Structure 1
Amino acid sequence: GLSTAVRPGFNANGSNISVSVGEKLELNCSVNTGDPIPEYSWSFIPDMESSRSNHTSTKKSSGEVVKAINRSTLIIPSFGVAFEGTHICTARNVRGNSSIYFRVYRK
């Protein structure tokens, strides 16, 4: 029941990732705690926007999202400058939500 529900907790902190243009990018987001099993969502803050204005707009990640029971993977088949920025994975359940940040930049 809800009495045993646990807020999602990640088994990794976010990381900085450098990718070559044209390379495949895979970001794995998995939780080691979370009951009931959380729902995942991905969003993205482009670098170009954060440097251009003070407010950052968060977009839905434009990659392919592959869902498994206890994790979510964002796949960008061919990395380009448009994907440079901060990709955010949020895991959410009845107890709350947690986010993990992946800072992705070009090699």
Structure 2
Amino acid sequence: MSQTQTEAEIFVLQFPFTTAAGNSISQLTLKRLTVKDLKLVKKTHKDPADWDEPLISRSTGLLPEDMDNMDLADYLELQTRFQQITGLGKSDKDADAGTGTAGEVV
């Protein structure tokens, strides 16, 4: 088994959906991304806030149009899992925690 297959994670959807091509999706395999994936996304999306959807698309193999049919609860959970796997959004989370504590003291 290759390293990519070994490190891939399975994400089970709470609300399966059907793609435009008629494929029923009940779970997604999240493959590890490479620097090349990030470089390709950076070319078309300058704002890091816009990177999640295209990177999730590359990780799952789903077209962005197919992700539009995914239930929002599943997408938000997938986005959170994706950010945990990649470390994207990690520093924002820590910054918010520090800001919240200082805000309460003042």
Q: Which has the higher strand share?
A: 1
Larger Rg: 2
Q: Which has the higher helix share?
A: 2
